[in-house]
């Protein structure tokens, strides 16, 4: 999550016509974070830190579907728990197969 200070630094970088990568280094983030942030809030020409901060605050306060509907929440939690088990067991099978292939 970007802070207002991060957004102000992005705005300054854009005013200096800096590349996203250079701005990203200044705020300690990846260039893709800067690119998404700028794109989400109007692009290089219209990006303003305070406007982006306010829009992000509104987006953060909007309730998610999992918070509004208990049935959706139960389904998502169940899927996430099941995905963890499948991922571990699949990784175990791949590891064993690779070891057999390498050892002979």
| Closest by Cα among 84, 92, 3, 81 to 49 | 3
Distance CA 76, CA 82 (A): 10
Residue ranges, the chain, pLDDT below 70: 84-104
With a threshold of 0.75, does the pTM exceed it? no
> CB-based burial of residue 38 (10 Å sphere; 0-12 exposed, 13-18 middle, 19+ buried)?
buried
CA pair distance 100, 103, nearest whole angstrom: 5
pLDDT value for 47: 98
What is the pLDDT at residue 32?
Answer: 97
pLDDT at 59: 86
Alpha-carbon distance of 71 to 77, in angstroms, equals 10
Is 35 in a helix, a strand, or coil? Answer: helix
Mean predicted lDDT score pLDDT of the chain: 85
Q: Where are the domains of the chain?
A: 4-61, 65-103
For residue 96, what pLDDT is reported?
A: 54
The pLDDT of residue 17 is 97
């Amino acid at each position: 999550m970007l802070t207002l200070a991060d957004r102000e630094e992005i705005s300054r970088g854009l005013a200096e016509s800096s590349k996203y990568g250079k701005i990203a280094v200044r705020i300690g983030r990846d260039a893709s974070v800067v690119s998404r942030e700028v794109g989400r809030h109007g692009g290089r020409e219209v990006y303003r830190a305070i406007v982006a901060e306010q829009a992000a605050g509104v987006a953060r306060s909007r309730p998610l579907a999992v918070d509004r509907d208990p049935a959706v929440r139960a389904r998502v939690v169940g899927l996430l728990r099941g995905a963890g088990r499948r991922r571990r067991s699949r990784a175990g099978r791949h590891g064993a197969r690779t070891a057999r292939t390498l050892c002979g």
